[in-house]
Structure 1
Amino acid sequence: MPLYAFRCPEGTEFDLNFAMRDVPASVACPTCGEPARRRVTAPRLSRAGSAAYRLIDSTAASAHEPAVVTSLPPGPAPSSAPRVTQNPMNSNQPPP
C-alpha cells in the first residue's frame, strides 16, 4: 500500500498507509486533532534497509560529519620506484 504524507495547520507532519482508492484528502492529526491535509511529495519507490541505502546514508552523513583519522591504515608502504610495463605494445614509448 502507498504511504501518504500529511501536515496539520500546527506543522505536525506524519505518514499514513492507505489503498489508492481509499486515500482521503485530509485526516485528523494524531497530535492536535485538527484536519491535516495530504501533501504532494516525491514518490517513495523503496524504503528498504538494503546495503545500498545504508551506503548512501553513511556517505551523506560523512559529508557533514567526517570521521577523524589519527593514523595511516596498516598495509605496505607505497613504493617510490616508477612502474615498468612488460607490455610489448609499449616498447616504442619513451621511458617516463
Structure 2
Amino acid sequence: MPLYAYRCDEDGPVDVMRPMGAAPPVLACPTCGADAPRMITAPRLRADRARVAAIDRAESSRTEPTVVSAPPPRPAGPRPAPRLDPRTAALPRP
C-alpha cells in the first residue's frame, strides 16, 4: 500500500497510507484540521525487509556482479532420471 505525502501550512508534512489511486487531492490535517494539499513525490511503497534486501541485491548486481572463485558444488549422490513428458511418449527415439 503506498504512502501519500500531504503538506499542512501549520504542522508540516503528513504521510497517509491509502490504497493505490484512492488518495484525495486535499486532506484534512489530523492535528489542526486545516486543508493539506497533496505533494507530488517519488513513489514510496511499504515493503518488508527481506523484499527490500532482495531488490537492493538485484539492483547492485546489475552493474557490479558478484565474483566467484569456483562453480557451485555438485549435489552428492546419483542424479534423478529426468521426468518424461507423456505427450512425447509416442515419438520415435534415436
TM-score by length of 1: 0.44
TM-score by length of 2: 0.45
